[in-house]
Amino acid sequence: MNNAATIAWRTPCRWIHAYSRPASTRSSLLDQLRLIYPSSIKPRSAIRCLSSTTPTSRNASQRAPSSQTRGNTAAFPERDLPAPQIAQIFGTATLPARLGNQILRALQDQRVSGTLDLPLPDEITRAAPPHIIDAGLAWLRSKHPMDEDAAILARIEREEQEEEEQLIRRAEELGLYKPQSGKFGSSTTKEGDVYGSSVLDEVRKKNIKESKRTEEKQRQDWLDGEAKRIEQLQAQAEKLKGIQKYEPQELTEARPRADPEQRPALAWIQQQHVKATSTTDASKLTTAGRLLPSLAVVALTLGLCYVFSESYEAPLHNQRMWPDMQPAAATLTAIVGLNAGVFLLWKFPPAWRLLNKYFINVPYYPHAASVVGSVFSHQQLRHLGSNMFILWFVGKKSVYLSAGAFATFSSFAIRVLSNTLTVSSLGASGAISGVVAMWCILHSNERLTIAFIPREWQEKISASGSTFLCAIILGELLNFIPAFRFFAVDLWSHLAGYGAGIVLGLLWKEKKERERRRNPPSWLKSFGL
């Protein structure tokens, strides 16, 4: 139906295509049509039988681009022509230069837009007679030639297209017509696609845009949040001024936040660090509120270790998980594996939040379970290796856990009581100290030496277990003197571990002595002893 209507509209005007107009004369078809009418009557061209009498035609002519913006050879000069040149063009000196330039620009706009058959603005037709307008048009055709017929045909195409679109839209609104793409004027998925635009593609594009918008917002929030983060740290530092001395550089010398688009790996690590850092205000916690929960966990741990040591019975050989490994070696392997696993977790940024809660002891942010979890936690390979090396030779599982928990809590309690709340500690050093101390007590009467030195030196460099333990403790005490402090270690945890190991060693020896008296050797029983 639409094609038939278009052909019907075009039929009366097909003679325009065969018309050819010299550019230097006013013998154009439009000029001939305009001369038919008196100057007092607005012209009506035969071309207007198409659609120029409709509102669409007038709107199209108003929307047509001006000659100053089309950028072709027919463009009218941007500057106004001087008065002498205006007088020469129109053949009269009485015509104002402003009006002359206005006439020329209006005529040129009509030439470019293909609307020469339409009347000029009323302010021009009232002020200028027809011969003045014809003179201006003749000058434009001579100085700025262009294909006026092509402009007219382009205008006709625009008007026809607008009329056709209006009819199609009206038919679509009435339900008489439905395009294959779903809606008139909607874009297709690709050129030549008869099925139109896919709804799934539209939803996917919408989701992608929304995702990009969300990512950009998160990126900006991340970059803008650095100042807010520093303000939070400064506020915490102000609350702790009476407890811990802060230097301003500690809050400002941190690496600036990386842009996720430029350095995604560094930005991801920094984001995990921020998530893992607690911002809870713990300054109002009392000393009892910091100590009692951890003390309860330590008491429970010591009780469980005692029950385990008293009630443990070794499983049968075929019931063991690693039957080909000695029981002591299997136990130590499990403990070393736990320490190594936590060490690897410290290298995985998403785990920092969990580790900062339960595997590092911070008096300012106390978590009761951390007094046990920190015993299995190391951040440096050197720290892990040295502790596990000692444990492998002298370790016992119940002593390791109980001594470690007691040593960690002792250090934690001293930090709280001395108002040193911002010092953190982790590692198995306290547990290792307890294991070493107990081993030395159990071998207090034996001569101990260093295994990897030459044999002739071992006779000279040897001491009893108790002497060896006293030398170790003396070396730890020297660390309280700044001149002898070479490493940052938790001295209180070490000393508490040694104390726990000594007590456990003495209790163990006393228990063995009671068992020996209760069950004397068989040769003593034969004498009635």
Segment 171-183, tens digit of pLDDT:
878 877 766 555 5
CATH superfamily of 287-523: Rhomboid-like (1.20.1540.10)
CB 90 within 8 A of CB 135: yes
Give the list of residues 6+ apart from residue 147 with CB closer than 8 angstroms, or none.
Answer: none
Segment 113-122, tens digit of pLDDT:
888 888 899 8
With tokens 């307890």, the residue in question is 434
Segment 266-283, tens digit of pLDDT:
888 877 877 777 666 667
Give the list of residues 6+ apart from residue 447 with CB closer than 8 angstroms, or none.
Answer: 462, 463, 464
**Of 31, 20, 24, nearest to 134 (Cα)?**
31
Q: State the Cα–Cα distance between residues 110 and 102, nearest whole angstrom.
A: 12
Average pLDDT score over residue span 322-336: 82
Judged by average pLDDT, the poorest of 260-264, 320-324, 449-453 is 449-453
pLDDT cut 70: percent of the chain above it: 72
Phi, psi torsion values for 425, nearest 5 degrees: -150, 150
What's the CA angle centered on 143, arms 142 and 144, to 5 degrees?
Answer: 100
Q: State the Cα–Cα distance between residues 309 and 298, nearest whole angstrom.
A: 16
What's the CA angle centered on 376, arms 375 and 381, to 5 degrees?
Answer: 115
Sign of CA dihedral 10, 12, 18, 21: negative
CB 69 within 8 A of CB 113: no
**Token pair for 382:** 């050197």
Phi, psi torsion values for 447, nearest 5 degrees: -85, 125
Does residue 36 have a pLDDT over 60? no
Q: Which residue has the higher pLDDT, 519 or 509?
A: 509
Strands 447-449 and 462-464 come out as antiparallel
Average pLDDT score over residue span 77-103: 88
Q: Which residue has the higher pLDDT, 243 or 208?
A: 208
Mean pLDDT of the chain: 74
Sign of CA dihedral 410, 277, 252, 255: positive
With tokens 């909607």, the residue in question is 186
Q: State the Cα–Cα distance between residues 381 and 342, nearest whole angstrom.
A: 12
State residue 240's pLDDT score.
56
- Could you tell me the end-to-end alpha-carbon distance of the chain, in angstroms, rounded to an integer? 128
Confidence of residue 60 (pLDDT cuts 50, 70, 90): very low
Q: Coil, strand or helix: which one is 361? A: strand
Average pLDDT score over residue span 341-363: 89
Q: State the Cα–Cα distance between residues 89 and 139, nearest whole angstrom.
A: 7
Using CA atoms, how far residue 170 sits from 176, 305, 343, 451, in Å, is 9, 87, 73, 101
Using CA atoms, how far residue 39 sits from 101, 111, 133, 136, in Å, is 21, 20, 11, 16
Q: How many CA atoms lie within 13 A of 519 on its CB side?
A: 3
State residue 395's pLDDT score.
62
Residue spans per domain, the chain: 2-174, 246-276, 287-523
With tokens 């069950």, the residue in question is 519
State residue 420's pLDDT score.
75
Q: State the Cα–Cα distance between residues 198 and 378, nearest whole angstrom.
A: 56
